[in-house]
Structure 1
Amino acid sequence: VEGILSVVLRGAFMDLCRCARKEMNKQDGAPKRKRSLLPCVGVTETDGEGSLLPPPPPPTRRSQRQQAKYRKSADLDSAISLPISHEVPTGRKAEISVISSGEGDNSTCSICMGEIVEKTTLDKCGHSFCRACLDRAFQVKRACPVCRLVYGPLIGNQPANGSMIVERDPDLELPGHEGYGCVCIIYSFPPGMQAQEHPNPGVRYPGTDRVAYLPDSPEGNRVLGLLRRAFEQRLIFTIGTSMTTGMQNVITWNDIHHKTSIWGGPRCFGYPDPTYLVRVTEELREKGITAD
């Protein structure tokens, strides 16, 4: 009897559910929904008025692989949003500072990077080095290897048998320096033999003549005085490989730029060039040539 009653009750309940669903579809002209299987009795819920409501959709479940992928993506997004820092730990900063400046405990030579042997301290800047390291550095250039402060007159290896002649043309005006005449500098070197201070001692080099131009203005004459002093210290030219012709064992310019043309601008080593006089003054200052 109990079995038959259960079947009858279940059938009546199913009929009631079908009727309720039909009524829900008809109300307010709602569009027909796709039929789906009725939920089982154990999960069917009712609202406050006693009408049947479909169960809420089950929460989305992710597999372990999907969860790992989601966490990796979230970590990547958070890493991208963080500002990138290029700072070095404090201890490393201090180490770099000591090595590069030669300061701190003054026990490390910034030339050989070892412990200072026969400590020699430069009087103007206070940087200290090994005596042997400093002697070798001063053979190349008499300047502090750290701050580049020049000590004493810097002497180059320009051939000693050259001449520097200055001529003035008041009627020739350089573009960008109108109202002033022109200063013509004529450098002349006869052929000679390379000395021990040159790259290939005993090898001959050909002679050369070079002409450069400056405005006959106060600024131009100031640069002319610096160039004359640099020539006396044998810094204008050197012996090496020509950058333009590729020829070896020839007299070449030594990193002090000259204007060898009147026109054409910087590309043709000529005028106008508004910053030239400032640049060449800075180049001369780096070689220790300054106005008194």
Structure 2
Amino acid sequence: SESLSHGTRKAFIDLCRCARKEMIKLEGGPKRKRSVLPCVGVGVLEGGGEGSLLPPQLAQPRRSQRQQQRYKKPVDDEASATPYVHSHSDTDDRNSCSICMGEMVERTTLERCGHQFCRLCLDQAFKVKRACPVCRLVYGQITGNQPGTGSMIVERDPDLELPGHEGYGCICIIYSFPPGLQAPEHPNPGVRYPGTDRVAYLPDSPEGNRVLGMLRRAFEQRLIFTIGTSMTTGMHNVITWNDIHHKTSIWGGPRCFGYPDPTYLVRVTEELREKGITTD
């Protein structure tokens, strides 16, 4: 009837108003218009429920959660990975041997410098050179393989001044080696090597005499020369310098292995100290 039709229409309008009020409460105000009228009164199912008058509201929260997880996950991974990397590095520093790069076996600590190594690794390193493989601090006395038949003669010339050391005379060091056969510690045992004579120069100053004393000790420990290949002539099985630089010329500067060279005495002192030779 007409009255029934009018009542139904009024109920429908009231339902629409209620639905819109609920929409305004959920979204914070009438900012957006949503197409909810077709859904009202037709039994929209929401998550398995019946008779709901509101559109689905779980889709947007689900997208928001996925977005939060997508942006949050790298941060969580980084936070968890960073301590793990640092911890792993710290563990390596404490437990790994810097010689074999493996885990410490029979950890051995050097008395003076405190560096630690595997016992076997340190024993093998000390057979080559009795010095810490990390800081190169020498333990005990190093003995080289310089031929044992040589001599070191020192002469002084008070009238000869070296450039850069005016006011002092000159110290002449004469190294002399006769020919001989290579010993077991040499590259080719039993092979003959020729003799040689070398002359080096130092200023006859307090600093020059200090270096001279260190060179004497190095010569006695057979560290000044070795047997190998000459860097200047390319000849094999000859007596050569062994990484302790000498000035073999009076003039010409560093390029000619001569003077002036303001830093030479400091450099050669450091080279001698690296081999365990001190001024004490």
Aligned residues: CA RMSD: 1.7
1:91, distance to aligned residue in structure 2 (A)? 5.8
**Match for residue 193 of structure 1?**
181
**Which of 202, 206, 216 is the equivalent residue of 2:194?**
206
**Match for residue 130 of structure 2?**
142
**What does residue range 91-106 of structure 1 map to in structure 2 within 5 Å?**
104=94
Number of residue-to-residue matches in the alignment:
199
1:117, distance to aligned residue in structure 2 (A)? 2.2
Query: Larger relative CO (CA 8 A, sep 6+): 1 or 2?
Result: 2
**What does residue range 142-291 of structure 1 map to in structure 2 within 5 Å?**
142-291=130-279
Once the two structures are aligned, what percentage of the paired residues are identical?
A: 83
1:116, distance to aligned residue in structure 2 (A)? 2.2
**Segments of 4+ in structure 1 off by > 4 A?**
89-99
In 2, Cα distance between the equivalents of 1:266 and 1:127? Answer: 37
Q: Which amino acid counterpart does residue 240 of structure 2 have in structure 1?
A: T
In 2, Cα distance between the equivalents of 1:95 and 1:173? Answer: 60
Question: Normalised by the size of structure 2, how large is the TM-score?
Answer: 0.67
**Match for residue 34 of structure 2?**
none
1:118, distance to aligned residue in structure 2 (A)? 2.7
Unaligned runs of 5+ in 1: 1-88
In 2, Cα distance between the equivalents of 1:265 and 1:140? Answer: 34
In 2, Cα distance between the equivalents of 1:91 and 1:148? Answer: 32
**Which of 111, 120, 125 is the equivalent residue of 2:108?**
120
In 1, Cα distance between the equivalents of 2:111 and 2:210? Answer: 30
Q: Given the superposition, is the C-alpha separation of residues 229 and 96 from structure 1 closer, same or farther in structure 2, using an over 3 Å criterion?
A: farther
1:177, distance to aligned residue in structure 2 (A)? 0.9
Q: Which amino acid counterpart does residue 258 of structure 2 have in structure 1?
A: G
1:128, distance to aligned residue in structure 2 (A)? 2.0
In 1, Cα distance between the equivalents of 2:87 and 2:213? Answer: 44
Question: Normalised by the size of structure 1, how large is the TM-score?
Answer: 0.65
Q: Given the superposition, is the C-alpha separation of residues 110 and 263 from structure 1 closer, same or farther in structure 2, using an over 3 Å criterion?
A: same
Q: Which amino acid counterpart does residue 110 of structure 2 have in structure 1?
A: L
What are the superposed Cα offsets for residues 7-52 of structure 1, whole Å, 9 maximum, x if unpaired?
Answer: xxxxxxxxxxxxxxxxxxxxxxxxxxxxxxxxxxxxxxxxxxxxxx
**Match for residue 78 of structure 1?**
none
